[in-house]
Amino acid sequence: MLLISCPHCGPRDEHEFAYGHEAHIARPTLDQQNTMSDAEWADYLFMRKNPKGVHFERWVHARGCRQWFNVARHTVTHEIIKVYPMGEPAPKLEQK
Amino acid sequence: MKQNYSIFSLVRNALSYHQGWQEAWRSPAVPKPEYDVIIIGGGGHGLATAYYLAKEHGITNVAVLEKGWIGGGNTGRNTTIVRSNYLWDESAHLYEHSLKLFEGLTQDLNYNVMFSQRGLMNLAHTQHDMQALRRRVYAIQLNGIDSEILTPAQIKEMVPILDCSSSARYPIMGASLQRRGGVARHDAVAWGFARKADERGVDILQNTEVTGFKIVNGVVKGVETNRGFIGGKKVGIVVAGHSGVMAGLAGFRLPVESHPLQALVSEPIKPILNTVVMSPQVHVYVSQSDKGELVLGAGIDAYTSYAQVGSPFIIENQLNALTDLFPCFGRLRMLRQWGGIVDTCPDASPIIGKTPVENLFLNCGWGTGGFKATPGSGNVFAHTIATGEPHKLAQPFALDRFTTGYLIDEHGAAGVAH
Ligand SMILES: Cc1cc2nc3c(=O)[nH]c(=O)nc-3n(C[C@H](O)[C@H](O)[C@H](O)COP(=O)(O)OP(=O)(O)OC[C@H]3O[C@@H](n4cnc5c(N)ncnc54)[C@H](O)[C@@H]3O)c2cc1C
Ligand SMILES: [Zn+2]
């Protein structure tokens, strides 16, 4: 069970949030879509990093302010290392 | 030669206070420099693969590398439900193949896997549950697999302690039943395969963790381990929750995410439940072990994790559901609770077959429901490794289905996918 700090509402119980899986997966542009191979589509749609270590992921405060945001979380300790806005690149973190 | 297990060996060994039992498998002090096949992961699927490689393909120069102890992963943590009532043809055939192997497994392995075909019931609580259930049952019947629909009266007769009243929190409108479904002893499945694989010459190397691959010009040559390099002409990855980590070491990506899945058992009570009851909609399932404990499971945590622990609120939800369905369980105490790391695919179906690296094969993505597939998975994967071409039952489950778009979407289809 996680205690997640919503950028707007502050620390709240995991119950109030929904998980948005891996962050920073860029949707192909229209131009790219016209020329992408099936393998590139598969990569975009289905392939995931699923790291054992720090994971950059999205959460939404579904039962609170409804805001989406990014979280850097360790998948073994579950420690939440950083909360940062959508659209911002993944932070550089010391290797844990 | 392995001693045969029988009533006579039991009596003979009892007379010597059980000090004389032969070891069930060897623990070679040093690995051989090279094997024809290396299996990474000593769970049920890896051990079954090794067994069928030796038994059906005559490939005995095989090692199973397990970072901990065999069966210590999801195999020894699961709630042991075995069934083959899957919606799509591809899944139905694969899981039915496995169920059939389960039916002869105790004899084949000379090891009592305690496979108990006590039936498996899926409850429907709404009109839409009933529609989906009918569709599923008819599809399963068309595949020649046993499946039937029960009325509330028939359910009540089979499981009198279920709240089938009109005032129930979750009204029970019907159920599907697979009579050949049931439960088996998870450890025994791992140990039985290990013992028979060992008998045919397979080396089972515990406390041996794979930390890297040797890949030359796109062809795998062996693996790096904490016990040094071990050569392998062919290598199979069968590590469940750690599949993504292994693929990363070998340089390719997978459509897999790892999630915690929990289970728990109650204090032991006298026999009260003689079948397996699942409620996909309110999300709990329960059976009673031979020791008398209720064995309970539910869903995964939403987030990805490698920690083998899940959140308490998941347990709370499933116990709420349990006590609404079975009011008489309300005063039971829970004894133990644990978690495993399951490897889930976007279509809730496994991946079996080749990888982008030559001679490197993959068997993963069984997620929350692969125990039932243990013998079948090992059987088709052994064929795939031995011949270099997918077994016909495994073919639809190749990694390239995510490129072709031929997904086998069992998510909605299977309800609770255990
Ligand atoms: C709580 C729970 C309940 C479940 N309930 C059911 C159920 O009722 N019915 C059902 O059909 N399925 C169920 N499942 C799913 C089922 O347990 C799995 O799908 C199945 O057991 C997977 O078997 P496996 O042999 O592939 O994996 P595992 O048994 O997990 O074996 C993989 C092995 O690989 C080893 N490994 C990992 N990395 C390395 C490395 N680098 N080097 C060497 N070894 C490594 C691990 O230590 C592990 O022993 C459940 C799972 C859980 C967690
Ligand atoms: Zn908020």
DSSP string, B186-206: HHHHHHHHHHHHHHTT-EEE-
Tokens 């949707």 found at: A27
Distance from C-alpha of B344 to C-alpha of B263, rounded to nearest angstrom: 17
Which pLDDT does position B1 carry in this prediction? 72
A63 in B contact zone (CB under 8 Å): no
Cβ neighbors of B388 (< 8 A, separation 6 or more) are none
A27-76 residue pLDDT tens: 999 999 999 999 999 999 999 999 999 999 999 999 999 999 999 999 99
B331-376 residue pLDDT tens: 999 999 999 999 999 999 999 999 999 999 999 999 999 999 999 9
**Domains (range + CATH), chain A:** 3-84 (3.30.2270.10)
DSSP structural state of residue B395: G
DSSP structural state of residue A28: P
DSSP structural state of residue B41: -
Ligand 1 pocket member B210 (CB < 6 A): yes
For B181, other C-beta atoms within 10 Å of its C-beta total 25
B128-161 residue pLDDT tens: 999 999 999 999 999 999 999 999 999 999 999 9
Beta strand B148-150 with B210-216: parallel, antiparallel or unpaired?
unpaired
pLDDT in tens, chain B (418 residues): 788 999 999 999 999 999 999 999 999 999 999 999 999 999 999 999 999 999 999 999 999 999 999 999 999 999 999 999 999 999 999 999 999 999 999 999 999 999 999 999 999 999 999 999 999 999 999 999 999 999 999 999 999 999 999 999 999 999 999 999 999 999 999 999 999 999 999 999 999 999 999 999 999 999 999 999 999 999 999 999 999 999 999 999 999 999 999 999 999 999 999 999 999 888 899 999 999 999 998 789 999 999 999 999 999 999 999 999 999 999 999 999 999 999 999 999 999 999 999 999 999 999 999 999 999 999 999 999 999 999 999 999 999 999 999 999 987 655 445 6
Determine contact, residues B324/B163, Cβ cutoff 8 Å: yes
Which of A22, A52, A73, A80 should we substitute to test contact with B (largest number of B Cβ atoms within 10 Å)? A52
B5-35 residue pLDDT tens: 999 999 999 999 999 999 999 999 999 999 9
Which pLDDT does position A95 carry in this prediction? 57
Count of positions (residues) in chain A: 96
HSE-CB for B322 with a 13 A CA cutoff: 26
Name the 3-class secondary structure at A74.
strand
Residues of B whose CB is below 8 A from A46: 255, 346, 402
- Cβ of A48 within 8 Å of Cβ of B312? The answer is no
- Cβ of A39 within 8 Å of Cβ of B403? The answer is yes
Tokens 């393909």 found at: B57
pTM of the model: 0.97
B266 in A contact zone (CB under 8 Å): no
Determine contact, residues B221/B360, Cβ cutoff 8 Å: no
Determine contact, residues A34/A42, Cβ cutoff 8 Å: no
Determine contact, residues B124/B133, Cβ cutoff 8 Å: yes
Q: For residue B253, give the chain A residue with the closest CA.
A: A47
Which of B258, B259, B303, B313 should we substitute to test contact with A (largest number of A Cβ atoms within 10 Å)? B303
Residues linked to residue B35 through DSSP beta bridges, in sequence order: B232
